[in-house]
């Protein structure tokens, strides 16, 4: 049970999670100082830790540097700052003065003020099992410039070595896992794009270089923010490493003053001692139970029309796809781009969110009624934050986009970015989205965002930098308001694929479009990186046509289904032209997925063999008394003999029934020896194996 206690004698706090402990204290100068983060300790045991401030041993190296709970700039503190302020007279240094604290259940707030200037700082901690959520609030009675305001500084135990795990990528190649030794000095992972970004993701895991999938201590931190962000790891010669993170970027400042407080986004931290696998399972449980809007809800099998129709959208064509999708067992039909304005390509119409009457003479209601009549929910694609210069909206309101008065407005995908920090733009977006959802019975929005910021100016505003955070805040507020007004509405976040993936958007979106790349071999790696932090319950994965439009590679339909079934299954091919044989197989696979869906979407993930250049990769989900194993042979070389696959997470004292073969297996044997896979020979062979624990 999570508990927070206060030690008045030592002016310290102990946050006790289910299997871990986090502790901090005030030093002699009231500076909030890190004490411990790691395996479970009692409050009495924390008191035994050496927390004395050590004197300087020379004029250059402070032995206590790197243990600030929110490393503030100023004085002789030279560590990477998490908080930098500039007062009206030019003073930069912050001097902490403790005010008081409040513990409310699993929430701790510690309040400080500057010793001279009217600036107040509150540090917040909230326990969610073994996850510690942290954020910072700033307020002031006079205007203060905030150069940097991170959510937290995380101090790790002193170690001989540190290794960083993180993901990198680009469009159509997101979430590629990397593990590297932590360099000395500062290493920055960041996005300056106004969105989370394809090239990196706001989380990092740290170990001592010896952790494996099953063994070793792992520390992880993740930021809940969908705009520009920054994580900085700092490794010193003294043998300490910290991670500091928050929203913002170099050169962009915040202003705090009367009526203008600043609250940073949540940054979550997690310690586990069971290797990277245990870390991922703990993160997945946290996201499902405390982040996603409907934690126990199963995501439906969807069909998306984009790859079948592109911009060539007609009512008759969508009806034909819907009828075929319903016959396959699809539960949610999503019409993609091309239904509105003059939208016959990506060059025009974006921003004119009214139904194209040439394509839908009687509006959308007849199509929605057809989809509902077929027993499916209806979804639709929108891109609220963008506008084409060739649109009625832009011609009427060219000032509504991000721009500088004497600079060219850079276009990407023939688009400009609307300034959602403006109240009139946010109100306009809510009006048409509320009407679209309410008047048509829309059940699902695919919310896209297909380009990053550029020329991010706001002419005429006295604080133009605020658009960098307030744009994201406005998107959050709009999603929250739509969901509150339409409780049945569900949302998929998308930004050219996986460009908006983080804990912040997952608090408003039910799932994320993982990548525009549906090539199966690439997806194995993309999904492997995605699953390091985020659960399968949020990972959209489609079966599309051969060849892949990204790689021009073809794979068997069976393999394509099996790869997509490891997440939230969708179909995105031109099913009107599929053969009867392929349609029959698709029905079989969708029925299988609907059977195993609770295990995949709610179960614990075990990565049995990670993706490699060839050979077999495998993963396993366990939920209650059911197990699902996915195995994929990417390429076969030299007639390598098949070997059994050792499973994980089973009860060795029980037996497990394979309902498809009728065989039963000892849990102990599956753990110690393995499961015969029986994969067909050759490349692109795969299997989905169901096991049921016998009681």
Provide the annotated active-site residues.
448, 516
Q: Is 337 known to sit in a ligand binding site? A: yes
Per the DSSP assignment, residues forming a β-bridge with 9 are: none
Backbone phi, psi, residue 411, to 5°: -105, 140
Q: Pairing mode, if any, of strands 152-155 and 96-104?
A: unpaired
**Cβ pair 629, 636 in contact under 8 A:** no
| CA 653 to mean position of chain CA atoms | 37
Return the sign of the alpha-carbon dihedral for residues 218, 621, 611, 583.
negative
- Give me the DSSP letters along 191-249: E-SSS--SSB-SEEEEE-S---SSSB-EEEEEE--SSSEEEEEEE-TTS-EEEEEEE--
Q: How far apart are CA 455 and CA 461, in angstroms?
A: 15
Per the rule left: phi > 0, alpha: psi between -120 and 50, beta: everything else, 588 is alpha
Residue 545 annotated as binding site = no
Alpha-carbon span 265 to 150, nearest angstrom: 9
Inter-CA distances, 115 with 28, 77, 99, Å: 14, 17, 11
* Residue 555 backbone phi and psi in degrees, to 5: -145, 155
Length of the chain, please? 695
CA distance 422 to 409: 18
State yes or no: 336 annotated in a binding site: yes
500 is in an annotated binding site: no
Q: Six-digit token pair at 604?
A: 């614990």
Contact indicator for 15, 23 with CB cutoff of 8 Å: yes
Question: CA angle, corner 139, sides to 138 and 144, nearest 5?
Answer: 95
Q: Is 205 annotated as a binding residue?
A: no
Q: Is 450 annotated as a binding residue?
A: yes
CA distance 383 to 481: 17
574 is in an annotated binding site: no
CA distance 630 to 541: 15
- The distance in angstroms from the start CA to the end CA of the chain is 29
Contacts of 694 (CB under 8 A, 6+ apart): 654, 655, 656, 657, 664
Residue list for the binding site:
171, 336-337, 413, 446-450, 494, 516
Binding residue numbers for substrate: 171, 336-337, 413, 446-450, 494, 516
């Amino acid at each position: 049970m999570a508990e927070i206690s206060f030690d008045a004698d030592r002016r310290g706090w102990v946050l006790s999670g289910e299997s871990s402990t986090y502790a901090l204290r005030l030093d002699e100068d009231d500076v909030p100082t890190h004490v411990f983060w790691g395996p479970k300790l009692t409050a009495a045991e924390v008191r035994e830790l050496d927390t004395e401030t050590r004197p300087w041993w020379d004029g250059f190296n402070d032995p206590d540097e790197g243990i600030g709970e929110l490393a503030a700039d100023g004085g002789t503190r030279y560590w990477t700052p998490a908080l930098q302020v500039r007062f009206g007279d030019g003073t930069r240094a912050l001097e902490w003065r403790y005010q008081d604290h409040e513990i409310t259940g699993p929430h701790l707030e510690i309040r400080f003020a500057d010793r001279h200037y009217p600036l107040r700082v509150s540090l917040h901690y909230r326990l969610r099992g073994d996850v510690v959520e942290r954020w910072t609030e700033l307020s002031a009675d006079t205007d203060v410039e905030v150069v940097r305001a991170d959510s937290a500084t995380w101090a790790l135990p002193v170690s001989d070595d540190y290794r960083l795990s993180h993901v990198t990528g680009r469009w159509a190649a997101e979430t590629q896992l990397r593990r590297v030794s932590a360099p000395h000095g500062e290493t920055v992972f960041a996005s300056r794009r106004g969105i989370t970004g394809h090239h990196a993701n706001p989380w990092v895991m740290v170990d001592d270089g010896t952790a494996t999938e099953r063994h070793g201590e792992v520390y992880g931190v993740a930021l809940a923010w969908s705009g520009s962000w920054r994580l900085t790891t700092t490794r010193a010669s003294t043998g300490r490493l910290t991670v500091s993170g928050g929203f913002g970027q170099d050169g962009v400042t915040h202003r705090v003053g009367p009526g203008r407080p600043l609250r940073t986004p949540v940054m979550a931290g997690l310690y586990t001692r069971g290797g990277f696998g245990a870390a991922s399972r703990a993160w997945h449980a946290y996201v499902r139970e405390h982040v996603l809007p409907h934690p126990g809800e199963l995501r439906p099998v969807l069909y998306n029309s984009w790859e079948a129709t592109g911009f060539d959208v007609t009512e008759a064509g969508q009806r034909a796809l819907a009828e075929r999708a319903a016959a396959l067992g699809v539960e949610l039909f999503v019409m993609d781009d091309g239904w509105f304005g003059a939208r016959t390509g990506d060059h025009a119409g974006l921003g004119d969110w009214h139904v194209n009457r040439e394509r839908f003479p009687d509006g959308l209601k007849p199509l929605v009624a057809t989809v509902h009549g077929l027993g499916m929910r209806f979804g639709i694609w929108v891109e609220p934050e963008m506008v084409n210069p060739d649109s009625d909206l832009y011609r009427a309101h060219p000032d509504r986009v991000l721009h500088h008065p004497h600079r060219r407005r850079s276009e990407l995908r023939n688009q400009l970015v609307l300034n959602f920090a403006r109240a009139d733009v946010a109100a306009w977006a809510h009006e048409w989205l509320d009407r679209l959802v309410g008047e048509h019975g829309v059940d699902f929005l695919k919310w896209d965002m297909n380009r990053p910021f550029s020329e991010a100016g706001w002419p005429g505003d006295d604080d133009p930098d605020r658009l960098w955070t307030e744009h994201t805040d406005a998107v959050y507020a709009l999603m929250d308001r739509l969901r509150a007004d339409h409780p049945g509405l569900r949302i998929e976040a998308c930004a050219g694929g996986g460009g908006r993936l983080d804990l912040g958007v997952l608090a408003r979106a039910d799932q994320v479009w993982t990548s525009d790349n549906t090539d199966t071999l690439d997806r194995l790696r993309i999904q492997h990186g995605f699953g390091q932090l985020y659960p399968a319950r949020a990972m959209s994965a489609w079966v599309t046509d051969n060849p892949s439009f990204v790689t021009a590679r073809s794979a068997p339909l069976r393999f394509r289904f099996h790869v997509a079934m490891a997440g939230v299954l969708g179909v995105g091919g031109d099913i009107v032209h599929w053969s009867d044989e392929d349609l029959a197989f698709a029905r079989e696979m969708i029925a299988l997925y609907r059977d195993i869906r609770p295990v995949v979407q709610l179960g614990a993930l075990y990565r049995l063999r990670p993706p490699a250049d060839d050979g077999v990769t495998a993963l396993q989900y366990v939920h209650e008394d059911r197990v699902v194993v996915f195995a994929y042979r990417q390429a076969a070389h030299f007639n390598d003999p098949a070997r059994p696959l050792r499973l994980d997470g089973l009860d060795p004292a029980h037996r497990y029934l394979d309902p498809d073969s009728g065989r039963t297996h000892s849990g102990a044997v599956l753990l110690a020896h393995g499961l015969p896979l029986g994969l067909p020979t050759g490349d692109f062979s795969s299997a989905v194996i169901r096991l049921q624990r016998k009681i």
